[in-house]
C-alpha cells in the first residue's frame, strides 16, 4: 500500500525556509572564529608550539607602531609585528608593503569606549600576507564574545584570534 502525502505550497515554502535556516546556522557555527585568552592558548598549544608567538609578544622584534595614524618602525629588519591603537585602524587597510612580513597584529584598547570602535575585517587587510595572529591587548574588561564581534572575515580560520586583559579590576 502506498501512501501519498501532499503538502500545500505554503507549507512547502515554510519547510524549505526552515531547512535553509538550519543549514545556514550550522555552517556559521562550524566556521565561527573563537577568541582565546593568550595564556590559555599558550597552555593548550604547549611550550614548543608557541615559541614564535612568545617571541612576537614578549621580545623586541621589528615592530611597526601605529598611533593616531602615524607610522613608526622600531627595530632592525623586516617588521614581524604591528602595534596599533583604535584611532589608527584605517591605516591597516592601506595595503602598505611594510605589512607584508607581519605575523602579529596587536590592537591596544585603553578605554571602555574603544570596544565599540574596534571593528576589523581580516579580508580587508590587504598588506598582511603573512598574518598568523591578531591579539587584542586590553586595559579594560573584555570577554571572548566581545572580541569575536570585533574581528570578522576569518571564516577560514587562517588567523588565530587572541586577547589579553592587563589590568586588575
Is 138 within the bounds of a domain?
A: yes
* Domains of the chain: total: 1
Q: What number of CA atoms fall less than 13 Å from residue 148's CA on the CB side? A: 13
Domain span at 69: 34-165
The three grid cell numbers given for residue 41, joined into one nine-digit string: 592558548
Is 79 within the bounds of a domain?
A: yes
Comparing CA positions, the residue from 68, 43, 67 lying closest to residue 54 is 43
Is 17 within the bounds of a domain?
A: no
Is 14 within the bounds of a domain?
A: no
**pLDDT values of the chain reduced to their tens digit, one per residue, 169 residues:** 555 555 555 555 554 454 444 444 444 333 446 999 999 999 999 988 899 999 999 999 999 999 987 899 999 999 999 999 999 998 998 878 999 999 999 999 999 999 988 999 999 998 999 999 999 999 999 999 999 999 998 887 889 999 999 976 5
Q: How far is CA 50 from CA 41, 43, 46, 55, 57, in A?
A: 9, 9, 7, 9, 11
Letter string b/e over residues 106-128, b meaning 16 or more CB atoms within 10 A of that residue's CB: bbbbeeeebbeebebebeebebb
Amino acid at each position: 500500500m502506498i501512501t501519498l502525502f501532499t503538502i500545500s505550497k505554503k507549507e512547502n515554502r515554510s519547510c524549505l525556509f526552515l531547512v535553509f535556516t538550519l543549514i545556514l546556522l550550522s555552517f556559521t557555527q562550524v566556521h565561527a572564529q573563537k577568541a582565546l585568552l593568550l595564556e590559555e592558548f599558550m597552555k593548550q598549544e604547549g611550550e614548543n608550539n608557541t615559541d614564535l608567538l612568545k617571541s612576537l609578544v614578549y621580545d623586541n622584534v621589528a615592530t611597526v607602531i601605529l598611533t593616531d595614524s602615524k607610522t613608526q618602525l622600531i627595530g632592525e629588519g623586516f617588521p614581524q609585528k604591528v602595534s596599533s591603537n583604535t584611532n589608527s585602524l584605517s591605516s591597516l587597510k592601506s595595503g602598505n608593503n611594510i605589512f607584508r612580513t607581519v605575523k602579529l597584529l596587536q590592537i591596544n584598547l585603553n578605554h571602555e569606549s574603544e570596544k565599540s570602535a574596534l571593528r576589523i575585517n581580516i579580508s580587508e587587510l590587504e598588506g598582511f600576507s603573512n598574518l598568523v595572529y591578531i591579539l587584542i591587548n586590553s586595559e579594560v574588561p573584555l570577554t571572548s564574545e566581545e572580541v569575536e564581534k570585533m574581528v570578522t572575515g576569518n571564516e577560514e580560520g587562517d588567523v588565530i584570534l587572541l586577547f589579553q586583559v592587563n589590568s586588575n579590576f
